[in-house]
A and B are shown apart, each in its own frame.
Chain A
Amino acid sequence: MKIAIPVDNNLMESNVCASFGRAPFFLVYDTETKEAAFVENTAASGTGGAGIRAAQIVADQGVGALLTPRCGQNAADVFRSADIKLYRTNTDSLKDNIEAFVKGELPLLEDFHAGFHGRNRGQ
């Protein structure tokens, strides 16, 4: 199965990125062939709707699961439509999370935060 993880750098030693929509890269990893590729997140610098576009990018990689510390509601809607399951990462380490996922130890991510777009009232 191909999985995706938001990462801070395009290296296997990189940490999991704290943000999904604004992560600079996504690791796309095949748990069977152990092939790894890094995809640039072109949505990261956008002014709004980054989560939606990032989810589109990840979905277009043909992954079956996303491992992420958190995820916004809009991106979660895209993943639901794309039948991509979301799992919550438990450490910063890419390798540890992949291992935990393969062993079936990562919990499903089921709480999503609201979008931030257009909600800046300036107070």
Chain B
Amino acid sequence: MPDFMAETAVSKMKIAVLSGKGGTGKTLVSVNLAAVAGHSTYIDCDVEEPNGHLFFKPDIAREELISVKIPQVDEKQCIGCRSCVRFCNYNALAYVNKKLIIFDDVCHSCGGCVLVCPKSALSERDKLVGKIKIGVSGDVNVYTGVMNTGEATGIPIINRLLEEGSAEEHGLTFIDCPPGSACIVMESIKDADYCVLVAEPTLFGAHNLNMVFELVKLFDKPTGVVLNKCLNEDNPVEQFCLDKSLEILGRIPFDHELASLNSNAEIVVNKKEKYRELFIGLLETIVDRVENGAASHKPNMVHGKVAADDQEGHRMELEQVCGEKVYGKVTANDQKGHNAEQEKTCGDNVFVESSEFHRELEGACSERDHTSNEMEGSAK
């Protein structure tokens, strides 16, 4: 196993794992990457539904309540000048019937209203919005944010989580982001050195991947894609990645056993050697890309080979070689009716190659529903 504990710049890198929608496998990927990295830090920023702790089952060493500042008015002091109402960019204040109304849910805790009040009629009070939990699971430091139900935003919790998570340097950091591409995701990735985008092999998956890809581009983050629930059939996400020159870091097969283990809140790399090999390979690729930064955006990356020939009916060959290990090789020929070949080898351990796997896939194809098949869903 590679030594990620070595005191190099890479060992302190922060890797964010995100996706355009929930249930694609962010937690599967980030939990298992942290687990194979050994001496590492796992931060669950999905504060609305944190579930990484279900896998790590950490011993909680410390909890901290998170509150935000909300204005309150002293009605005896208020002269109704509306300076605060005009100032608030979020329209969290209204003044009617000689009374100031404050909307806690709309307030962004900027404190501006308190500053502009000429009569010091406004002050701030604490409003509890959630908590963070800091714990240890084996060699992994586990940070979990929990937002109180009904709160409008988890951003204050995420900020505190990332602050705490960075305070103690403990190997590579894996940030399990909230789904989507809203403010809470931007907050989660702002300090990340590398973004891993997890996507499902569907048209819908490609659409959601595009949303989140647009976001990481905006932040100018080096990025790669992990394809989850891969089948031996056309994957619209593969084409999307080709079109956008996005590197595919690895492919996780649609695998009943993996899904079942994951649904039972097991860390799959601790259960099966083949999964450990898969995630070690993925981690090695990511660490390499973090080290070599800019190379990650190029389709003709050092460790991989991509060739596409449109004239022959989108004949596509993808080969990714990392070190001496062949991670994936896919040949798809659209004209010949989705004739595809998949071969994955990790070290000595043949991962996806057997006809048994293909039979499993065929069975799975007929009954599966991409949207309801959420590997991490049942663990939530």
Contacts and interface: CB of A to CB of B under 8 A. Distances in A.
Interface in B1-51: 20-22, 48
A122 B103 contact: no
Interface residues of A, number: 25
B202 to A, nearest CB: 15
A120 B94 CA distance: 24
B181 A52 contact: no
A82 to B, nearest CB: 4
A118 B151 CA distance: 9
B147 to A, nearest CB: 11
Interface string B301-317: 00000000000000000
B218 interface: no
Given A50-B91, A52-B91, A115 B182 contact: no
Contact of B180 (A43, A78, A122): A122
Interface string A49-63: 110110110010000
A117 B105 contact: yes
Nearest to A57: B94
Contacts of B94: 52-53, 55-56, 59, 78, 81
A121 B92 CA distance: 21
B21 A48 contact: no
A123 B91 contact: no
A48 B93 CA distance: 12
B21 A46 contact: no
A19 B91 CA distance: 17
A121 B90 contact: no
Contact of B91 (A46, A82, A118, A119): A46
A121 B103 CA distance: 21
A10 interface: no
A121 B179 contact: yes
Contacts of B96: 55-56, 59, 78, 81-82
Nearest to A52: B91
Nearest to B91: A49
B129 to A, nearest CB: 12
Interface in A34-54: 43, 46-50, 52-53
Interface in B179-196: 179-185
B97 interface: yes
Contact of A117 (B101, B106, B179): B106
Contacts of B54: none
A121 B97 contact: no
A15 B126 CA distance: 45
B97 A56 contact: no
Contact of A118 (B22, B89, B153): B153
A43 to B, nearest CB: 7
A83 interface: yes
A121 B101 contact: no
A23 B97 CA distance: 24
Given A49-B106, A122-B181, A122-B211, A117 B97 contact: no
A59 B91 CA distance: 15
A93 interface: no
A77 interface: yes
Interface of A: 43, 46-50, 52-53, 55-56, 59, 74, 77-78, 81-83, 115, 117-123
Given A55-B94, A78-B96, A118-B152, 7 more contacts: A43-B91, A47-B90, A48-B106, A53-B91, A77-B103, A82-B97, A118-B105
